[in-house]
Amino acid sequence: MLEVYENDLEEALRMPLAEAIAYKDKMGNDGIRRFKFYDDRAFIKYVSSMSCVRSPIFRLTSNDGAFYVVHGEDDYGEVIALLRCRRKDSFVEYALSRLGLPVRSCSIDSILDVLKL
């Protein structure tokens, strides 16, 4: 299974950034841009392209699924990237660990604080 994830990670990292950002929706902007991704490989590509990632990556799991939240900066300034999954995503967990980015489970209150909502 690790070989499959490694191949998926290589494919995600080769994805052109312009293609990756096509898999996102913009959210409200109050000085911090927020993007919600709906493709795990596009999310990983975008996160890998960020100039700064503030650790850790937050994971919130609930009955409705899992959310991954990354806070950092890209070429255009501060940004928060979210990925919503049906469940904890093994590929995302693997890819983030290979990128050296720690993942921390947290409460919904922590996520709302990070998102400044």
Q: Do 34 and 73 contact (CB within 8 A), yes or no?
A: no
Please list the residues that pair with 25 across neighbouring strands: 36
User: Given strand 65-74, what is the order of strands in its sheet?
Assistant: 24-26, 33-37, 77-85, 65-74, 52-62, 103-105
Give the pLDDT score at 55: 81
- Checking if the pLDDT of 89 tops 90, the result is no
Range with the lowest mean pLDDT among 64-68, 70-74, 101-105?
64-68
Higher-confidence residue: 88 or 47?
Answer: 47
